[in-house]
Amino acid sequence: MAGVRLSGLLRLATLLWLMVAPTAGAAESRLDAIERTLRGQPQAALQALEPVLAEARGEARVQALLMRGGLLVRVPDEHATEATAKELDGLAASVPLAAPAAELVRAGIWARHAPLGRADRALTAAVAALPADTGGDMRLRFLAAQAAVRQALGKLDEAAALYQAAVNLADRDSPPWRRAELRSSLAYTLFLAHQVDRAIAVNAEATRLANASGDLYAQVNATNADAIFASAQGRADDELRASEQAIELARRSGSKRLMVVTTANLADFYLKRGDHATALQLAQRALPLARELGDPATEALALTNAGLALIGLGRINEGSAMVRQALLLEERAGGLPAMADMQRELGQALEKAGRLPEAWAAYTEYRRLADEVFQRQHQDAVLELQESQDAERRQRELAALETENGLKEAQLLGRELQQRLWALALLAGVLLLGVVALLLRRMHQSNARLRSTNAELQAAGERDPLTGLANRRHFHAEMQRTAAAGFDGSLLLIDLDHFKRINDSHGHAAGDAVLVVMAQRLRAALREEDMTVRWGGEEFLVVVRSLPPEQVEALAERLLATIGGQPVVHGRATVPVTASIGFATFPLLPLREPMPWERAIDVIDTALYLAKAHGRNRAYGVRALRADTAAAGNAATPAHGLEDAWREGHAELAHLSGPQPTETEP
């Protein structure tokens, strides 16, 4: 958990220091010194900035306000940040740089909230509005801020190109520490785009520049990136060395925020390797620092790491209570994705500790939160699309208004010319009609392109980008269209066994490769008319129509063999993979009453949990289920309820075993 969330915190911090502008002169030199020495300590930097703001005028004041806006975003204080942006708006008439600077400050606010399209559009407008004589060191900040937002939007190629342009500008006359930090940001973007070798090479140059400058903040960023890369490649010794070095550099820098980030990263390292005692010591060291910062996200992170470590040490009640404290903090802050991650990790820890009912409750809450996150992401995507369409509509209206004004002017000119010479008036009328026809044709072309783009966005939004399979959004749309009166057909829910162990042992790149290969195997094993959905994480859902129940059981057995028959080869590693499956054909025997598709998913999810509880690498199918037993599936441990119903003769289950995986070493 720490590695993912902390890298996000560092990316946001990178965007925010980019909002500080260096220049020459007395006030400007003081701004440079504040940025260089205090950029990791926003409260101290704000105090040091006050006397500069009291004296600065003109462009120097714009630059000082830009610095204050970036620091206030980090505190965070959105009200004061917006007031700073409004003050910049007031300087726009006399200082051309003020208007784009105000947009950059507001983008810092909007970058903390979804959807991010508003921040991206603000930065695009700000870059376009930069005065022609804007210096390279100022221009690179706008480019790099835009790159950070594009990275958060998942537009990695665009983000890498923008970061590279900023690096090129920085290499002309920026100080070594800024050149180092831009390279670390570029390296992380390349890493996200799976260009690992290039990312490592770029970050090595960042490390060289940071060490040469003696700048501790730049050294922490470069070293933390090294730790992330080493973790992804499974180089545990290098990850440990880089994480410990990052903590020491953060301590020397005096930045409590960096101390919390680096200490939590190292705690996560020991958690992944089962050294719960060391992880607990580190998490307890990070917790008071996080509370001093007053940042709920970092405090929740430290609490979660401490709680998971306690569970691993057998202090289950104490550890669960700390994780619940973290969940409460994230709930108050509205951090649903983080809450879902916490519930998943809590479930995994409790499952390893043998507390299966509590683990099941955590997994159930994780699924609920994951569904809510999905719904919110869907709403954000719709909102983002609507805002984009509204912006295009406003542009079209503006263009139409300009066209209308042009037409009115042409008509006035036509009347004046008509009084003088009818022949020239006729010619002007013909030309005017040609202009109108051209404008109408262009408007039709623009509308056609817009319809095509909307269709492409809808198709892309219903497809998983990693595996190419349909996603939950597509499945929900299909169910709403075809299953209004109850689901009719067969459902198979597939969960890859011990997938977290694959990520921890072989790296996330190997985990992604396993997901892609599993998707290919499922496609090959199924018919063209069957639907295969990436349900989330390591889960897949198969929808089969018009197939007798006995053939569905044969299909489940074939899928177990397809998935577990051969290991997945990734680089030099050979990764054995098995899966657990829950399945059923609806309507269920004996009554064959219609069942909503949501309830059908619950039934096969319960069967899947039964397969996992009985050792994994197997499939459990529900052949028949009495109506009152089906209604009881909402109990705290539905798998136990289903198994009890089977033993009492109220349910009929099918049990299939998968192939034994070949044991290989990576």
Domain boundaries along the sequence of the chain: 1-174, 177-255, 395-461, 472-657
pTM metric for this prediction: 0.53
Q: What pLDDT does residue 79 have?
A: 85
**Who has greater pLDDT, 134 or 572?**
572
Average pLDDT estimate for 13-28: 50
Q: What pLDDT does residue 600 have?
A: 93
Q: Classify 615 in phi/psi space as left (phi over 0), alpha (psi -120 to 50) or beta.
A: left
**Closest to 279 (Cα-Cα) out of 319, 221, 330:** 319
Q: What pLDDT does residue 233 have?
A: 83
Q: What pLDDT does residue 666 have?
A: 42
Q: What are phi and psi of 334, to 5 degrees?
A: 75, 25
CATH class of 1-174: mainly alpha
Amino acid letter, 402: E
Average pLDDT estimate for 148-170: 87
Q: What pLDDT does residue 377 have?
A: 58
Are 181 and 17 within 8 A, CB to CB?
yes
For the domain bounded by 472-657, which CATH number is listed?
Answer: 3.30.70.270
Are 252 and 216 within 8 A, CB to CB?
yes
Q: Is the dihedral of CA 266, 267, 268, 273 positive or negative?
A: positive
Average pLDDT estimate for 494-517: 93
Q: What pLDDT does residue 467 have?
A: 92
pLDDT-based confidence at 451, cuts 50/70/90? low
Share of the chain above pLDDT 90, in %: 24
- What CA–CA distance (Å, rounded) separates 145 from 167? 12
Q: What pLDDT does residue 383 have?
A: 61
**Closest to 74 (Cα-Cα) out of 141, 13, 142, 122:** 13
**Who has greater pLDDT, 10 or 559?**
559
Structure tokens at 499: 């997938």
Report pLDDT digits (tens) over 105-118. Answer: 888 777 776 666 77
**Who has greater pLDDT, 11 or 546?**
546
- What CA–CA distance (Å, rounded) separates 297 from 300? 5
Q: Which residues contact 268 (CB under 8 A, 6 or more apart)?
A: 1, 2, 3, 279, 305
Q: What are phi and psi of 69, to 5 degrees?
A: -60, -45
**Angle at CA 141, nearest 5°, toward 38 and 198?**
95
Report pLDDT digits (tens) over 407-422. Answer: 777 677 767 777 787 7
Are 21 and 279 within 8 A, CB to CB?
no
* Sequence-separated contacts (24+) of 331-334 with Cβ below 8 Å: 332/296, 333/296, 333/297, 333/300
3-class DSSP string for 265-319:
HHHHHHHHCCCHHHHHHHHHHHHHHHHHHCCHHHHHHHHHHHHHHHHHCCCHHHH
